[in-house]
């Protein structure tokens, strides 16, 4: 018997889907995986990127959909890599980011969850302030092994879900979803 989902998460990143699925299960939402490649517009706005991806994904899937776009914004690099975080990770990785930094290691992670179902288009933003570690710590994916949230001594690779930018944005989304 086919499984029924409340909505779908469009991404090509299985790690991101598994994390979102686990978080939303905790809020009572059954999330399906819509694996796809979406064209990413060039923009300095994560919100515009996520909204555009949500419409694209809905056009392909024809089901209620969410997408997530996030970025790591490093103060001493004037917010770089920001909306270009995925590309930067693929090209220079965590080692490259660590080599770029000197003393000021302040940073923040921002997540935008965008929902679209032809009737509703909503976005939910959350951020977590923190700093970049001096070395790679843990075995998480993406920038998780180098990001330490404020008031923590552990990277996201060591302890993440209930304090992450993604968790907070998905929590905002789930509150809206049940009230719509």
Q: Please state the separation of Cα 143 from the chain's center in Å.
A: 11
129 catalytic per annotation: no
SS (H, E, C) the chain: CCCCCCEEEEECCHHHHHHHHHHHHCCCCCEEEEECCCCCCCCCCHHHHHHHHHHHHHHHHCCCEEEEEEEEEEHHHCCCEECCHHHHHHHCHHHHHHHHCCCCCEEEEEEEEEEECCCCEEEEEEEEEEEECCCCCCCCCCCHHHEEECCCCCCCCCCCCCCCHHHHHHHHHHHHHHHC
Give the CA distances from residue 42 to residues 53, 164, 173, in Å, rounded to whole numbers and listed in that order: 12, 25, 25
* Phi, psi (rounded to 5 degrees) for 54: -65, -45
Residue from 69, 70, 144, 179 carrying the catalytic annotation:
69
> What residues are annotated to the active site?
69
């Amino acid at each position: 018997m086919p499984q029924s989902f409340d909505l779908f998460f469009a991404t090509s990143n299985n790690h991101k889907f598994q994390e979102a699925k686990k978080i939303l299960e905790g809020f009572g939402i059954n999330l399906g995986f819509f694996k796809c490649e979406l064209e990413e517009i060039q923009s300095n706005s994560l919100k515009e990127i996520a909204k555009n991806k949500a419409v694209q994904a809905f056009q392909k899937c024809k089901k209620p959909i969410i997408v997530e776009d996030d970025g790591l914004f490093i103060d001493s690099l004037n917010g770089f890599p920001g909306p270009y975080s995925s590309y930067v990770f693929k090209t220079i990785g965590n080692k490259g980011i660590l080599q770029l930094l000197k003393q000021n290691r302040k940073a923040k992670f921002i997540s935008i969850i965008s929902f679209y179902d032809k009737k509703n288009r909503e976005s939910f933003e959350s951020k977590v302030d923190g700093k970049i570690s001096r070395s790679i710590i843990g075995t998480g994916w993406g920038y998780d092994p180098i990001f330490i949230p404020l008031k923590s001594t552990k990277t996201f690779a060591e302890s993440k879900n209930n304090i992450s930018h993604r968790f907070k944005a998905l929590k905002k989304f789930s509150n809206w979803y049940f009230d719509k």
